[in-house]
Amino acid sequence: MKILEIKDLKKTYPSPEGGPQTVVDISHFSLEKGEQMALAGESGSGKTTFLHLVSGVLKPDSGEISLDGSRMDLLPEAGRDSLRSNRLGYVFQNFNLLQGMTSLENVELAMRFGAGVDKERAVSLLRRMGLSERLHHYPRQLSMGQQQRVAVARALANRPKLVLADEPTAHLDHVRGREAVTLMREVCREFGAALLVVSHDREVLSHFKQVEPFERLNRVLRPRQGVKS
């Protein structure tokens, strides 16, 4: 059963010259429930824009996005917000933890916009990430690897059906990066969430059986300089 299905997806931005510039043009893409896949692509290829479209942060110009049976592209903004908070987890390249909140509060924050605060589950998620001793630490008191693990725990806070990860190891060394990807794959499997990772890091890609070159998926042939992606 498909957790994510995309058809004829297009996103266009105005170019610096004034005309339209297509950044994402994907005829078809799908992901099965619990499936784990990596999209390989260089910087500027439109991977982040693609993830923003999948998560509903951006609205496509045309095309269909079905997430767990719901048509994301047909929903108004508030509906996309709800769908995102309840069915999706998002691990950002810079982790995007809120600096004024502890690890536990960062995880609880995601719950507030989704299923509701469940402190026990938040604590158990952080423990699963090996952060039992770091529950009440602020991001600035954590290593990059620990911050990444908090971000993964936060992504899993609302029992998502799909976890999106954008260059999840960009700020980690090889060893930590490998550990992070392994852990992310493990926990997604444990919690029954599909995982879609976009990265240009071969080390990351080597962990996945299914690796799809993003340039092949995206019909826009070349990444464009100066394009917001």
With CB under 8 A as the rule, give the number of residues binding other proteins: 41
Give whichever of 1 and 78 is closer to other proteins, judged by the CB atom: 78
Q: Does 213 participate in binding other proteins (rule CB under 8 A)?
A: no
For residue 21, list its beta bridge partners. 13
Q: Does 135 participate in binding other proteins (rule CB under 8 A)?
A: no
Task: Give dist(CA 149, CA 183) in Å, integer.
Answer: 9
Give whichever of 16 and 32 is closer to other proteins, judged by the CB atom: 16
> 10 Å Cβ neighbour count for 43?
11
Q: CA-CA distances (angstroms) from residue 200 to 40, 135, 166, 171?
A: 5, 31, 10, 13
Q: Does 170 participate in binding other proteins (rule CB under 8 A)?
A: yes
Give whichever of 189 and 216 is closer to other proteins, judged by the CB atom: 216
**x/- string (CB under 8 A) for other proteins, residues 178-207?**
--------------------x-x-------
Residues 37-66 that bind other proteins (CB under 8 A): 43-45, 47-49, 52, 55, 57-58
- State the nearest-atom distance from the C-beta of 64 to other proteins, in Å: 20
Residues 6+ apart with CB under 8 A from 53: 9, 11, 24, 59, 60, 65
Residues 13-32 that bind other proteins (CB under 8 A): none
What is the DSSP secondary-structure string of 82-144? Answer: HHHHHHEEEE-TT----TTS-HHHHHHHHHHTTT---HHHHHHHHHHTT-GGGTT--GGGS-H
Residues 56-115 that bind other proteins (CB under 8 A): 57-58, 77-78, 81-82, 84-86, 90, 92-94, 96, 98-101, 105, 109-110, 112-114
- State the nearest-atom distance from the C-beta of 174 to other proteins, in Å: 20
Q: Which of 121, 128, 134, 154 binds other proteins (CB under 8 A)?
A: 154
- Quick one: tokens of 99? 């600096």
Q: Decide: 30 and 5 in contact? Cβ < 8 Å.
A: yes
- State the nearest-atom distance from the C-beta of 213 to other proteins, in Å: 15
Task: Give dist(CA 20, CA 34) in Å, integer.
Answer: 36
Q: Decide: 114 and 95 in contact? Cβ < 8 Å.
A: no
Q: Does 148 participate in binding other proteins (rule CB under 8 A)?
A: no
Give whichever of 202 and 209 is closer to other proteins, judged by the CB atom: 202
Task: Give dist(CA 177, CA 171) in Å, integer.
Answer: 8
- Quick one: tokens of 49? 């824009």
Contact positions vs other proteins (CB under 8 A): 43-45, 47-49, 52, 55, 57-58, 77-78, 81-82, 84-86, 90, 92-94, 96, 98-101, 105, 109-110, 112-114, 154, 158, 166-167, 170, 198, 200, 228-229
